[in-house]
Amino acid sequence: MRKYFDSIRRIAGNVVTVNASDVGYDELAVIDSAHGDSFAQVIRLEGQQVSLQVFAGSQGVSNNDRVRFLHRPMQAPFSEDLLGRVLDGSGRPRDGRGEVTGEMIDLGSPPVNPVKRHMPDKMVHTGIPMIDVFNSLVESQKIPIFSVAGEPYNELLARIGLQANADIIILGGMGLRHDDYLKFRQTFEDGGVLGRAILFIHTAADPVVECLLVPDLCLAVGEQFALQGKRVLVLLSDMTAFSDSLKEISIVMEQIPSNRGYPGDLYTQLAKRYEKAVDFEGAGSMTVLACVTMPGDDVTHPVPDNTGYITEGQFYLRNGRIEPFGSLSRLKQQVNGKTRGDHRAIMDACIQLYALCRESREKRDMGFEMSAWDRKLLKYGNLFEQRIMDLSVNIPLFDALDRCWSILAECFEPAETGIRRSIVEEHWPASGNGAETEPAQEEEPAVAGS
Amino acid sequence: MNARIVAVYGNLVVAETDGRVVQNSVAHCVHSNGTRLLSEVIRVRGQLADLQVFEETRGLKIGDPVELQDEMLSVVLAPGLLGQIYDGLQNPLPEVAKEAGFFLKPGLYIHGVSTTQSWEFAPKAAVGDTVEAGDTLGTVPEGIFTHRIMVPFGWQGAFKVEKIAGTGSYKVADEIAVLVDSDGNRRTATMQQNWPVKRPLDVSRRRLLPDEPMVTRVRIIDSMFPIVRGGTYCIPGPFGAGKTVLQQITARNADVDIVIIAACGERAGEIVETLRDFPELTDPRTGRSLMERTIIIANTSAMPVAAREASVYTAATLGEYYRQMGLNVLMLADSTSRWAQAMRELSGRLEEIPGEEAFPAYLESRIAAFYERAGILELRDGTKGSLTIGGTVSPAGGNFEEPVTQGTLKVVGAFHGLSRARSDARRYPAIDPLDSWSKYRGIIEPADMAKMRKVLVHGNEVQQMMTVVGEEGTSIEDFTAALKADFFDNCYLQQNAFDDVDGASPAERQQFAFAKVAEVAGLDFDFQDKAEARRKMVEVTDLFRNWNYAPTDSDEYRRLLSEIDKFIATKGRDS
Ligand SMILES: Nc1ncnc2c1ncn2[C@@H]1O[C@H](COP(=O)(O)OP(=O)(O)OP(=O)(O)O)[C@@H](O)[C@H]1O
Ligand SMILES: [Mg+2]
C-alpha cells in the first residue's frame, strides 16, 4: 500500500518541506500535484520535517499536494537500449520514443578504491597538435576546456568526441541552448557515432534541479559501461551552469556562501563528479571532458578555479585557439615518453620559445627596437601560430613533431632552442630552411627584413 | 544503543541521548540495513550530540540508533604499518578491495595492521626493570628498520617488568610483557597500542632546536630555501603550478628514514601513480624498494569529507610513532587547504559564526597546532627522532592573501611559494626565488648564497627597467647582469623533475655545481656588445644544462666540466 504525507509546511525556491516519518536521507520522493508527478530528493531531515529538492522546480506545488517516498535513491535505467537515445535531466525520454527499460542503478555510487585503479597509460589521439604534442589527452583523464561565451568550445568538444574513437560517447548538456543540442546531435549523426552515443540533455529552459542531475546520470551510466569493459567518453557542457544550479539550491537552503555566493562545498561537489573518471584495473575506462565557461573571462572565478584544482589539467580555448599558456595535461608524461624520443624536448622547447616570443611582442608593441634575437622569436611565433596552433590543423602526432622541427630550423640555431644536443643531432632537419612543405603565408614586416 | 538520530544535515547527524556523551569520542550510526557508520562527537548541547559522520549518510533515518562510545578516534600503532596504503581512518585499502571489489564500502572497517603476521621479537627489557611509557620493551625487525615495541604511551607512572617474552615469533596481539604499577595493578602489553589521532604524541626528555638540513635533492630548496629535520614548511601555489610533483620528488629523494604521504582531498590518480611507482623505485639510501619506507594515507577528494579532516591527524600520529623509535620521519600533506575546507563545511553545518571566506574562527589555531606536531625530540634513551611536516596550500584563485595561506605562513619555518608565471613558462620547480623564504640553514654557505641572491635581485630590477626603457636604453653592464640572473635561474634553480640525473641532485653535487655557477656569475665580462653578451651566455647556459643531465663523474660530465672551466678561465673568449 502506498503511504502519502500531505502536510507540506513550506515551499521556497525549489525546496519543499513536509512532515513525514520513516524517511531516509538522500532518498527519492514523488510529489503529486495538479500538474502531475514530480520527483524530489531528500536533502535535510529535522525531526518530523523533511526537506525535499524538487527536480522540476516547486512552481505549481501547493500546500495541499501529497508526497510519497520511494525508499531508494535516484536511479537511472541501464541497458544497451540507451545507445542512440536522448533523455532529460530526470532520465525521461526527450526524443519522443518510449521509456528506456533496463536494470535500475543508483546514482552517486561510492568512490572507486584507488588500489583498483589502473595507471592511465593510453594516449587518446585527437589530431589537434596543441593537444597531441603539447598536452596529450590520456584515456581516463578528466579535463575541462576553459573558455568564454562565443568561443567554439562545443564544436571542439564534439570534434574530440568524434576523433577520440571511444566505444561509447555520453553527452551531458547542462543549461545548453537548444541550438547547441541540435548541433551536437547533427555532428554525432554526421560522424556516424549517434548509434553509440547517449545524450542527457538539460536546456536553459528546463528546471534548474534537473541540471544538477545530468552529470550524475552520465557518470552512473558511463561507469556501468566501463565496468563491462567499454572505453567510455563523457562530454559535459557546461559545468558552470551546473555550479550555478548548486549555488541556487544552497542559497535557498540558507547555507553560508564562501566565495561569490557559491557554497563552501563547491570543491567537494565538483570533485565527486570529476573523480568518477577512471581506468578500472581489469575492466574499461571513463574519460571526462568538460566545458567550463569562465564568467568575465576570469580564471580565478570560483568555478574554473575549483575545477582546475580537481581536474587533470585544462585546455584554454581563446580566440579560437588552444592557448599554450595555462593549458596543461597533467597526465601527458604518462604517455609522451613512449611516443617518440623527441616528443618531450619539442614540447618544452616550443613553448619556452613561444613564451619568449610573447615578451618580444610586448617590447615591440611598446615601440622598442627589436634585436636580431627578437626578430627570430617574432618569426618563430608567427610560424608556430599558423602551422601548429590554428584549430583547423588536423594532423597525426608524428607529422606535428616533424613540423615543429622544421619551424625551429627555419628560425634558430640548434643551441638557441635549448634542446639537448643528442636530440638535436638526431632530429634537426638537414637543411635549415625550406624543410617545411607548407609555405608560410604571411609574415610581419618586422620579420621580413631579417 | 544509547542514542537516536533526531536530525540529518549532510554528513552532520544530531543524536539525542539520555546517557553520557564525551566530546570528540567515537560513535556509530546504525543504518537500517545494518551498516554501522563511524562518526565522531563534535559538539554536545544538553542531551544532543552533534556527530560528524565519516561516511555518506544516505539512507539514515530519524530514530535510527546511535552507539556512543567513550574512546576518541584512534589509530593502531604496531609493526606492519610501513608500506601500507590507508584511507583517512587507517583502513588498509588493498584489504578493503579484497572484500569489496572496485568500490569503497561504507561501514567496512579493517584493522590497520595484520593480526596474523608474525614478527621476530627480541626483548630489550628484563624482569625487574623499571619502565615508563615510551620505554623499549623489545624490538622487531620491520623491513630495514628496528621497530621498537614500547610501553604504551598512554600508561601513566612507573612500572616493574614482571614478565617479558623471550626471543621468538609473535603476532601483534600476543602478550609480550606484563607490567606492574606502584599500586600492584598488572597490565599486559602487546605489540600494538592505540593512540587518539588528535592528541600529539611526544614522550621525550625535551624538544631540540631543529638544525640538521633535510636534503631533498631539489637544488632551489636545499641551496636557497632549505628544510631541516624536525622543521616545517609549506608550498602554496595555484592549481597546476607543481605542488604535487614537488612533493612526489621529495617523497622519493628526501634524506629521511620514513616518509608518510597524506593525500588529503586531492586526486585519486595521483595516489595511483605513487602506488605503482614506489614499489619499483629504489631508495637511494638503502637500495631497497621505496615502498618499504613509505606509508600512504589516501583520502582523496571523492571520499567522505569528514574523513579528510581526520586523515592529516592519522598521518601525523603515524609519523610521531616512528619518531619515538629514534627515526627521522617526513610527513607530506597534499593539500592542507582541503583539510581546512573540510573544517569549513562542518563549521557551516554547525552554524558557527563564520570568519573570513566562511572559514571558522579557529582555523589559524588548528593550523598552528597541526604544524606544532613536527619537531626533533631527544627521547628518553638519549637518541634523537624527528618529524618534519611539509604541507601544500591551494589558495582560491592562486591568491596568497587568503586565510589558509596566511595562517600557515605564520607558523612554518620555510615558504616555497609557487608562481603561476614560472609554471606557465615551464620554469620548474616553479618556486618563486624572489618571494620564497626559509628560516633554516642549508647546504650552501649563507654568505655565498646571499651573493647569488643579489645577482637575482639585481637582474630582476634590470629586467623590470628594460620593460620600460627597452634594451637600447640599458647599459651593457646592466644587460649582462640580467643575463647572469637568467643564467643562474636556468642552470641552477630550474631542474627537470622527469630526468633521472637532473631530477635528483645530491648535496655534494649541488655544492660543487653551485660554486661553478657562482664563478660564472662573478666573472667580470667585457662583452663588445649585447649580441655578444647574449651569445656567450647562451653558450655557457647550454654547457651547464648539458652538464646537469650528465651522470656524476661520467665521461660526458668530465668533458663538459672542462669546457666550463675553459669558459671561466677565458671569460668565454676562446671560441
Ligand atoms: N618539476 C616539474 N618538472 C616538470 N613538470 C612539472 C614539474 N612540476 C609540475 N610539472 C607539470 O605541471 C603539472 C601539474 O603539476 P602538479 O600536479 O604538481 O600541480 P599542483 O600544484 O599540485 O596542482 P593542483 O593544486 O591542481 O593539485 C604536472 O602534471 C607536470 O606536467
Ligand atoms: Mg596537486
Please give all residues whose CB falls under 5 A of ion ligand 2, grouped by chain where several chains appear. Answer: B 243-244
Domain assignment present for B420: yes
Residues B147 and B256 grouped into a single domain: no
Domain assignment present for B108: no
pLDDT at A435: 41
Indicate if the alpha-carbon torsion angle B289, B295, B299, B301 is positive or negative.
negative
Whether A437 shows a pLDDT value over 80: the answer reads no
Which of B386, B415, B438 represents a domain boundary (last residue)? B438
Residues B92 and B128 grouped into a single domain: no
Report yes or no: B58 at the A interface, CB cutoff 8 Å. Answer: yes
pLDDT at B574: 62
Before B335, cis peptide (omega within 30)? yes
E strands, A299-420, are 313-318, 321-322, 328-329
Which of B221, B245, B549 for a ligand 1 pocket mutation test, highest count of atoms within 8 Å of Cβ? B245
Residues B399 and B540 grouped into a single domain: no
Domain assignment present for B273: yes
The architecture in CATH of the region A4-73 reads: Beta Barrel (2.40)
Q: Which three cell numbers stand for residue B176?
A: 609480550
Q: What number does the ligand 1 atom closest to the CA of A332 have?
A: 31
Contact yes or no for B302 and A276 at CB 8 A? yes
Segments of chain A assigned to CATH 3.40.50.12240: 77-334
Task: Provide the mean pLDDT of chain A.
Answer: 90
Report yes or no: A280 at the B interface, CB cutoff 8 Å. Answer: yes
Residue B30 maps to which CATH number? 2.40.30.20
pLDDT at A256: 78
Residues 6+ apart with CB under 8 A from B335: B243, B264, B265, B266, B391, B392, B393, B394
Whether B526 shows a pLDDT value over 90: the answer reads no
Average pLDDT (B463-478) is: 88
Contacts of B271 in chain A (CB under 8 A): 114
pLDDT at A445: 37
Contact yes or no for A433/A355 (Cβ under 8 A) = no
Residues B458 and B547 grouped into a single domain: yes
Contact yes or no for B299/B307 (Cβ under 8 A) = yes
Domain assignment present for B199: no
Q: Could you tell me the end-to-end alpha-carbon distance of chain B, in angstroms, rounded to an integer?
A: 86
pLDDT at A448: 32
Q: Which three cell numbers stand for residue B515?
A: 660554486
Task: Provide the mean pLDDT of chain B.
Answer: 94
Beta-bridge mates of residue B389 = B232, B331
Which residue, chain included where needed, has cell 581489469?
A282
Q: Tens of pLDDT along A209-220?
A: 889 999 999 999
- Specify the 3-state DSSP secondary structure of A195: helix
ipTM of the complex: 0.91
Domain assignment present for B574: no
User: What is the pTM assigned to this prediction?
Assistant: 0.92
Q: Is the CB of B240 under 6 A from ligand 1?
A: yes
Residues B209 and B187 grouped into a single domain: no
CA distance B340 to B363: 7
Q: Give me the percent of chain B exceeding a pLDDT of 70.
A: 99
CA distance B37 to B106: 7
Domain assignment present for B57: yes
CA distance A23 to A28: 9
Range of the domain at B25: 3-72
Indicate the burial class of B91 (C-beta count within 10 angstroms; 0-12, 13-18, 19 or more): buried
E strands, B3-131, are 3-9, 12-17, 25-30, 36-45, 48-53, 65-72, 74-77, 85-86, 118-123, 130-131
**Angle between helix B530-549 and B476-488 (nearest 10):** 10
Nearest residue (by CA) to ligand 1, atom 25, is B239
Domain assignment present for B322: yes
Q: Is the CB of B244 under 6 A from ligand 1?
A: yes
Q: What number does the ligand 1 atom closest to the CA of A331 have?
A: 29
Q: Give me the percent of chain A exceeding a pLDDT of 70.
A: 95
Task: Please give, rounded to a whole number of angstroms, the shortest distance from the CA of B327 to a CA of chain A.
Answer: 28
Residue B139 maps to which CATH number? 2.40.50.100
Indicate the burial class of B447 (C-beta count within 10 angstroms; 0-12, 13-18, 19 or more): exposed
Q: Is the CB of B243 under 6 A from ligand 1?
A: yes
Average pLDDT (A313-340) is: 92
Residues B93 and B134 grouped into a single domain: no
User: A49-58, A98-107, A246-255, B510-519: lowest mean pLDDT where?
Assistant: A246-255
Report yes or no: A344 at the B interface, CB cutoff 8 Å. Answer: yes
Nearest residue (by CA) to ligand 1, atom 30, is A330
Domain assignment present for B134: yes
CA distance B575 to A1: 95
Nearest CB neighbour to A25, from listed B8, B305, B471: B8
Whether A438 shows a pLDDT value over 60: the answer reads no
Average pLDDT (A285-307) is: 94
| Phi, psi angles (nearest 5°) of residue B86 | -110, 160
Whether B345 shows a pLDDT value over 90: the answer reads no
Residues 6+ apart with CB under 8 A from B512: none
Q: Tens of pLDDT along A330-353?
A: 999 899 999 999 999 999 999 989
* Structural element, H or E, at residue B518: helix B507-522
Contact yes or no for B52/B23 (Cβ under 8 A) = no
- Specify the 3-state DSSP secondary structure of B36: strand
Average pLDDT (B417-442) is: 93
Residue B399 maps to which CATH number? 3.40.50.300
Q: Which three cell numbers stand for residue A206?
A: 528546463
Residues B30 and B175 grouped into a single domain: no
Contacts of B305 in chain A (CB under 8 A): 265, 268
In the structure, what pLDDT confidence band is assigned to residue B263 with cuts at 50, 70 and 90?
very high
Geometric angle at alpha carbon B75, from B180 and B31, rounded to 5° = 120
Which of B160, B191, B222 represents a domain boundary (last residue)? B191
Residue B456 maps to which CATH number? 1.10.1140.10
Distance, CA B243 to ligand 2 centroid (Å)?
5
In one letter, which amino acid is A321? R
Q: What number does the ligand 1 atom closest to the CA of B429 have?
A: 1
Residues B381 and B458 grouped into a single domain: no
Residues B403 and B419 grouped into a single domain: yes
Which of B399, B415, B438 represents a domain boundary (last residue)? B438
The architecture in CATH of the region A77-334 reads: 3-Layer(aba) Sandwich (3.40)
CA distance B155 to B37: 29
Contact yes or no for B7/B62 (Cβ under 8 A) = yes
Which of A300, A310, A330, A336 for a ligand 1 pocket mutation test, highest count of atoms within 8 Å of Cβ? A330
Indicate the burial class of A425 (C-beta count within 10 angstroms; 0-12, 13-18, 19 or more): exposed
Contacts of B563 in chain A (CB under 8 A): none
pLDDT at B348: 86
Contact yes or no for A315/A151 (Cβ under 8 A) = no
Query: A132 vs A254, which has greater pLDDT?
Result: A132
Instruction: Using only the alpha carbons of chain B, give its radius of gyration.
Output: 27
Q: Is the CB of B242 under 6 A from ligand 1?
A: yes
Q: Tens of pLDDT along B68-105?
A: 999 999 999 999 999 999 999 999 999 999 999 999 99
Residues B361 and B235 grouped into a single domain: yes
Q: Tens of pLDDT along A356-395?
A: 999 899 989 988 889 899 999 999 999 999 999 999 999 9
Three-state secondary structure string covering B233-267: EEEECCCCCCHHHHHHHHHHHCCCCEEEEEEECCC
In the structure, what pLDDT confidence band is assigned to residue A1 with cuts at 50, 70 and 90?
low
Instruction: Using only the alpha carbons of chain A, give its radius of gyration.
Output: 25
In one letter, which amino acid is B49? A
Segments of chain A assigned to CATH 2.40.10.170: 4-73
Average pLDDT (B523-532) is: 90
Q: What are the CB-based long-range contacts (under 8 Å, 24+) for A354-362?
A: A354/A324, A354/A380, A354/A381, A354/A384, A355/A325, A355/B424, A355/B425, A355/B426, A357/A381, A357/A384, A362/B467
Number of compact structural domains in chain B: 4
Q: Which three cell numbers stand for residue B437?
A: 623564504
Q: Tens of pLDDT along B287-318?
A: 889 999 999 999 999 998 889 989 999 999 99
Residues B512 and B374 grouped into a single domain: no
Residues B140 and B241 grouped into a single domain: no
